[in-house]
């Protein structure tokens, strides 16, 4: 019985006598960064589940905006080409 108490006491004192492990600052930063990334991913997934219709609508709006910008640029390019063709014909006709 006393040997069990003695072993219990020694096991508690030995762990206190042993030096604590030192963790480097860069390891702590890496762990914190990993935890932040996991939390960010979790929040993004939760937001996507809750607002799926809104996300689809935003994607369609951005697609429409991009399409409209490309339409305007194409119209400007077509008008410029026709204008230059007419200008070249006029120059060649009067020279």
DSSP three-state, residue 88 = helix
The pLDDT, as a whole number, for residue 12 is: 62
- Residue 33 domain-assigned (yes or no): no
Q: Which residues constitute the domain of residue 87?
A: 40-95
Phi-psi region of 93 (alpha: psi -120 to 50; beta: other; left: phi over 0): alpha
Please check whether residue 12 lies inside any domain of the structure: no
Rounded to whole angstroms, how far apart are CA atoms 74 and 80?
Answer: 10
Reported as a single tens digit per residue, the pLDDT across 20-65 is: 577 788 888 899 999 999 999 999 888 878 877 877 788 788 888 8
pLDDT for 81: 98
Model confidence pLDDT, tens digit, residues 4-19: 667 776 666 655 455 5
pTM exceeds 0.85 for this model: no
Number of folded domains in the chain? 1
């Amino acid at each position: 019985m006393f040997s069990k108490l003695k072993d219990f006491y020694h096991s508690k004192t030995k762990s206190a006598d042993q030096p604590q492990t030192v963790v480097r600052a860069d390891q702590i930063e890496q762990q914190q960064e990993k935890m932040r990334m996991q939390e960010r991913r979790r929040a993004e997934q939760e937001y996507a589940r809750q607002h799926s219709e809104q996300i689809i609508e935003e994607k369609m709006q951005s697609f429409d905006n991009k399409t409209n910008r490309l339409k305007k640029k194409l119209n400007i390019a077509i008008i410029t080409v026709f204008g230059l063709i007419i200008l070249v014909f006029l120059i060649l006709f009067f020279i």
